[in-house]
Amino acid sequence: MAIPKVEELRVSVASEPNMFTGAVPKADWQDTFTEFKEGNFAYPAKPEMVEYHGFPNSRIWSPDEDDWKLPDGWEKIILDGLKERLGKFRSLKLYMDICVRCGACADKCHFFLGTGDPKNMPVLRAELLRSVYRNEYSVGRKVLSKMLGNRPMTVKVLKEWFMYSYQCTECRRCSVFCPYGIDTAEITMMMRELLHLVGVGINWILEPAANSNRTGNHMGLQPHTFKQNIEFLVDDVKDITGIDVTPTFNRKGAEVLFITPSADVFAEPGIFTFMGYLLLFKHIGLDYTLSTYASEGGNFGLFTNNELMKKLNGKMYAEAERLGVKWILGGECGHMWRVLHQYMDTMNGPADFLEVPKSPITGTVFKNAASTKMVHISEFTADLIKHNKLKLDPKRNAHRVPTFHDSCNPARAMGLLDEPRYILDAVVPKWHEMNENCIREKTFCCGSGTGLNTGEIMELRMRSGLPRANAVQDVHEKYGVNCLANVCAIDRATLQPLMEYWIPPTGDDPMATTDVNVIGLSELVGNALVMDGEIENRDQGLRFEELVTDDTEG
């Protein structure tokens, strides 16, 4: 396929109406303007949130107004920030220099495929920053500036950065196809960091990040509320199974500290996943504790800047050290695992005060976590199944026909590909893979990651999620798939609306919102677990739905 070169893009990229902005540019893409309208941008951060983080230039502003009230000398602030980061991060310098514009990434981005906006081609999104970089640093920049596609830092450029760095979920699918291994997500991260230097950021990232810093979780749940919510879930588990799964909190000397996204404690369908964890730990008699301080796996620092990412990641380890646990078990989360596998070690590691994780049930030593000392719940569960330590009845999930959505970060950032599939094989009678172009390393993002899971951009989320929804539609039609299993809290929150739009309900149930419901993998585990002392002929799933039993089969 002929992929356009940057030179061609520059001339023709916007000679037709832009499907995202609705603008009808007439000139070179560098000379076209980005139009902000209600619905195509996430709301800017409130001044108090900016101030909370100690970020500069807090103010009330709105992207759809011409004047963004940028501070005096903002261009210098940005360029100095870029210089500092080029010196600090060798990867950034490399990514700025080595792209040959081969275009291999151009049609791999879900935002491009769902919006048709060429500036969402990863190569061009990165060019928004590269053009400024070259203007400052390339040889011959003064003479051949325009020909080389260089451009100075202007308000127009800044607005493009804001528009398109917040139309990237840092999912890294493009990087899988890049022959040079350029991680375009890191370019997005740098653009966001630079924007924060002049007080340009979105509220749905800075507020959760502030909450995480203050109360330990992005919901802002205070310790007693966090504990109470879990107690509600414990009651539900008791009602459904007859089993008392009461966990402990902040208990010193526990073997394992369990950390999961706080969304699992608070909202559907994550709470059902959490109930699955509780049953699993009870089933194997794990010596674990929860923490009301490290009550969040998600790291909104990753979406903000490297300092905040380090700080939030550090809280988990500080708590593990304080409690004196041996190692950390992590729940079904997305970006927690990217931070852990790609950045933790150089930011806060190695965690020498912890032990190399060893399953107390099977004796398996997780050497892959020798430095971070943190094991993924799916690795842990798959190992239990492998050693035949779980009593499972997959028939209990016979009402579910899942497909598996590889969440971007566990799949591409830590290589968690086979463990979830191994678990699915054991806990459901049958499940079906989506098309090979849409799974494993090549998985398509939910379209709402990195802080873009906010309601004011719902239509954008539905557009960017189209490639994922399209693949689910296919297995739904072919095999009657009726649930979408995954291992990420943001997926659980955002794939559900995506399914509701793209796969609306067709049955008789007036309460149904879609034909494909989203489900955490551990919920399926929890449903399949046959617990000692459980209610005879347990007939309810963790959502209080009817389970297939021998009687109902009869």
Partner 1 sequence: MKLQELLSKNRDTILADWEDVVLGEYAPETFRIFKKQKNKFANPIGHKTTTGLAELYDVLCDEDDKEIATPALVEMLKVRALQPISATEAMSFLFEIKTLVRERCEKQGMDKLYKEFLAFCVRVDATALAMFDIFTNCKHRVFMVRINELKTGRHIITDNAKCSAQLVRENMEEDK
Interaction residues for partner 1, span 479-508 (CB under 8 A): 489-490, 493-494, 496-497, 500-502, 504
Residue among 432, 536, 525 nearest 482 (CA) = 432
- Number of Cβ atoms within 10 Å of the Cβ of 462: 18
- Count of all residues that appear for the chain in the document: 554
Binding flag, residue 545, partner 1 (CB under 8 A): no
Count the Cβ atoms, other than its own, within 10 Å of residue 310.
17
**Residue 463 is a binding residue for partner 1 (CB under 8 A):** yes
Residue 225 near partner 1 by CB under 8 A:
yes
Query: Position 211: which residue type?
Result: N
Query: 495 phi and psi, to 5 degrees?
Result: -70, -30
- How many residues touch partner 1 under the rule CB under 8 A: the total is 74
* Least Cβ distance, residue 464 to partner 1 (angstroms): 10
Stretch that binds partner 1, among 125-133, 204-212, 247-255, 308-316 (CB under 8 A): 204-212
* CA–CA gap between residue 41 and residue 38 (Å, rounded): 7
Residue choice 106, 187, 290, 413 for contact with partner 1 (CB under 8 A): 106
Residue from 246, 435, 537, 552 touching partner 1 (CB under 8 A): that is 435
Binding residue for partner 1, selected from 75, 474, 539, 545, defined by CB under 8 A: 474
Nearer to partner 1, 9 or 96 (CB): 9
Q: Which is nearer to partner 1, 426 or 466 (CB)?
A: 466
Whichever of 42 and 309 has its CB closer to partner 1, that residue is 42
260, 331 Cβ separation under 8 angstroms: yes
From 454, 479, 543, 548, residue interacting with partner 1 (rule: CB under 8 A): 454
Tokens of 284: 């194997």
Contact by Cβ (8 Å): 254, 323: yes
Asked if 28 is part of the footprint of partner 1 (rule: CB under 8 A), the reply reads: no
**Helix or strand or coil: residue 329?**
strand
CA distance 331 to 378: 8
Point out which span in 221-229, 239-247, 248-256, 356-364 binds partner 1 (CB under 8 A).
221-229
With binding defined as CB under 8 A, does residue 116 bind partner 1?
Answer: yes
- In angstroms, the CA 338 to CA 412 distance is 8
Tell me the residue type at 200.
Answer: V
Q: Which of helix, strand or coil describes residue 514?
A: coil
Instruction: State which of positions 38-67 bind partner 1 (CB under 8 A).
Output: 39-40
Sole window of 91-99, 260-268, 341-349, 401-409 interacting with partner 1 (rule: CB under 8 A): 260-268
Place of tokens 């790609």: 342
Stretch that binds partner 1, among 78-86, 217-225, 280-288, 310-318 (CB under 8 A): 217-225
* 204, 132 contact by CB (below 8 A): no
Task: State how far the Cα of 108 lies from the Cα of 332, in Å rounded to an integer.
Answer: 26
By CB under 8 A, residue 15 contacts partner 1: yes
Which C-beta is closer to partner 1: that of 382 or that of 490?
A: 490
- Footprint of partner 1 on 270-329 (CB under 8 A): 270
Q: Residue 8 interacts with partner 1 (CB under 8 A)?
A: yes
Taking the C-alpha atoms of residue 29 and residue 125, their distance in angstroms, rounded to an integer, is 12
Stretch of residues binding partner 1 (CB under 8 A), selected from 162-170, 210-218, 250-258, 363-371: 210-218
Q: Please, how many CA atoms are within 13 Å of residue 39, restricted to the half-sphere of its CB?
A: 7
- Least distance (Å) between residue 418 CB and partner 1: 21
Q: Which of 168, 329, 471, 481 binds partner 1 (CB under 8 A)?
A: 471
Can you say how many angstroms the Cα of residue 204 is from the centroid of all Cα atoms in its chain?
Answer: 14
The reply to whether 332 sits near partner 1 by the rule CB under 8 A is: no
538 near partner 1, rule: CB under 8 A: no
In angstroms, give the least distance from the CB of 194 to partner 1: 24
Regarding 86 and contact with partner 1 (CB under 8 A), the answer is no
Nearer to partner 1, 348 or 496 (CB): 496
CB of 172 to partner 1, least distance (A): 17
Could you identify the residue written with the tokens 């291999």?
A: 104
* Helical segments of 394-537, H only: 408, 414, 418-427, 458-464, 466-479, 489-502, 521-528
Handedness of CA 385, 529, 542, 208 (dihedral sign): negative
To partner 1, the closest distance from the beta carbon of 515 in angstroms equals 13
What track of x and - describes contact with partner 1 for positions 512 through 531 (by CB under 8 A)? -x------------------
Binder of partner 1 out of 7, 64, 459, 546 (CB under 8 A): 459
Phi, psi torsion values for 247, nearest 5 degrees: -90, 170
